[in-house]
Amino acid sequence: MSKLVAPSVLAADFANIQRDVEMINNSEADWFHIDIMDGVFVPNISFGMPVMKAIKKHATKPLDVHLMIVNPDQYIKTFKEIGADILTVHYEACTHLHRTIQAIKAEGMQAGVALNPHTPVAVLEDIVQELDLVCIMSVNPGFGGQSFIENTYTKVQQLKNLITFKGCETKIEIDGGVTNQNANNLVEVGADVLVAGSYVFGAEDPIATVKELKTMIN
Catalytic residues: 35, 175
The Cβ of residue 55 has, within 10 Å, a number of other Cβ atoms equal to 22
With b meaning 16 or more CB within 10 Å and e meaning fewer, what string describes 165-199? Answer: eeeeebbbbbbbbbeeebbeebbebbbbbbbbbbb
* CA distance linking residue 93 with residue 17, whole number of Å: 29
Q: Please report which helix (H) or strand (E) contains residue 64, including its range.
A: strand 63-68
- Alpha-helical (H) ranges within the chain are 17-25, 49-58, 76-81, 97-106, 152-166, 183-189, 198-201, 206-217
CA distance 83 to 89: 16
CA distance 162 to 142: 27
Task: Say if residues 65 and 84 touch (Cβ distance below 8 Å).
Answer: yes
